[in-house]
Amino acid sequence: MTKIGVIGVGKLGVCFALNAEQKGFHVIGVDVNPDVVAAINAREIITDEPLVKDFLATANQFEAHTSLQSVIDDDISLLFLFVATPSLADGGYDHGQIDRIASQLIEFGVRNIPIQLIVGCTTMPGYCDLLAKQLIPFNYHVSYCPEFIAQGSIMRNQVMPDQVLIGEATHESGNAIEQFYTHFCDNSPVFCRMDRLSAEIAKIATNCFLTTKISFANSIGDLAVKAGANPEKILAAIGSDSRIGSRYLGYGYGFGGPCFPRDNRALGKFADESGYELLLSKATDVVNRRHLDFQVQQALDNTDETITFDYVSYKKDSTIIEESQQLALALRLARAGKTVIILERLSVVRFLEMEYPGLFILEEASQ
């Protein structure tokens, strides 16, 4: 049984670790949060993510530790890294957690065997090359292999990807990663192998294409509403063209959540730093804001004084409200004097009660 290490077993990393364990790997997880580690080892994790509890309950070859030293073992040649890279005020990503891990790895000294350190979290283009320069003297080969997942379907997305994007340290590194994912995946994804910088750009550019498509759909929808036409039928016709496709081409809320907005801004920042103004990235953000303005005005012009939202998380069946356009709309309408009723999961209801006391009528939705 092959042993692998997973550094960072939070919301994303624990899913990856459990999927790997299900495929027959012996997984050693590491996390700085002792509560997370204790919950994993007690098989009592609290999460809304489907399948996590089920997989954890039957996991016989997955253990977690708080010490990074636990994955410094000659039996482990594949180290996967899934720590947070939160957004900065300037639109870039904070790589501080990765930097701290790299410093610890350097302190442990030169490894006896070559170690493939595979970065699975989103990074600014160029960062992994800098990380590789730091770690190659210590026998770590840094590759970039980000996840393409959606909250609420992480477990399935990981084992059924359309593509596996590999920014390989060397050709041999790419072979090792491809061999792992061939065994890890339930389908036969396209393996897109390239240099680290190209892969970092490809990752955030993929999400930026989707934000562009969402913004286009909402722009055409807003135009149709303004002109008195039918937005759904127009977009269905456009999406029926095989060159375009219907996914992400519906008329509705703007894009939000923990990935799309920040990746869009990060690509724009990288482009500016590279001396190339990426107008699409900036325009997409502008369109998203204007679409919200349009939705607000449409609702205010409506004579109905009570407006009901069946969810305000960034997408249905999620409890994440980060940059939620639904919540942004609900807030603006409530503050403009409309009576706003929100039906949501209990955890979201409790958050809204604490954060916006008395602003909404809150009801727990049946799941």
Looking at the fold, whether 292 and 321 belong to one and the same domain comes out as no
Residue in this structure with the two tokens 């999927």, named with its chain if needed: 19
Looking at the fold, whether 46 and 181 belong to one and the same domain comes out as yes
Domain C-terminal end among 159, 194, 229: 194
Output the CA–CA distances (angstroms, integers) from residue 302 to 175, 295, 306, in the order listed.
Answer: 59, 11, 10
Looking at the fold, whether 111 and 218 belong to one and the same domain comes out as no
Confidence band of 34 (pLDDT split at 50, 70, 90):
very high
pLDDT tens digit string along 1-31? 699 999 999 999 999 999 999 999 999 999 9
Looking at the fold, whether 221 and 281 belong to one and the same domain comes out as yes
Would the pLDDT of 64 be above 90?
Answer: yes
Provide the domain limits for residue 355. 302-367
pLDDT tens digit string along 225-264? 999 999 999 999 999 999 999 999 999 999 999 999 999 9
Q: Give the global pTM.
A: 0.93
Size (the chain), residues? 367
Confidence band of 73 (pLDDT split at 50, 70, 90):
confident
Which residues have C-beta within 8 Å of that of residue 296, sequence separation ≥ 6?
A: 329, 332, 333, 336
Within 10 A of 80 (CB to CB), how many other CB atoms are there?
A: 25
Position 1 scores a pLDDT of 61
Task: State the distance between the two ends of the chain, measured CA to CA, in whole angstroms.
Answer: 39
Q: Which helix (H) or strand (E) holds 96?
A: helix 96-107
Cα distance between residue 121 and residue 330, in whole Å: 32
Q: What is the CATH number of the domain that holds 201?
A: 1.10.1040.10
Q: Which helix (H) or strand (E) holds 286?
A: helix 279-301
Looking at the fold, whether 186 and 37 belong to one and the same domain comes out as yes
Which residues have C-beta within 8 Å of that of residue 264, sequence separation ≥ 6?
A: 204, 207, 208, 211, 281, 284, 285
Looking at the fold, whether 168 and 85 belong to one and the same domain comes out as yes
SS3 119: strand
Residue in this structure with the two tokens 């399935």, named with its chain if needed: 156
- Retrieve residue 76's tokens: 């482990």
> How many separate domains does the chain show?
3
Position 129 scores a pLDDT of 98
Looking at the fold, whether 21 and 81 belong to one and the same domain comes out as yes
Q: What is the CATH number of the domain that holds 187?
A: 3.40.50.720
- Retrieve residue 148's tokens: 């393409």
pLDDT tens digit string along 82-100? 999 999 999 999 999 999 9
Looking at the fold, whether 116 and 152 belong to one and the same domain comes out as yes
Cα distance between residue 333 and residue 339, in whole Å: 8
Output the average pLDDT for the chain.
Answer: 96
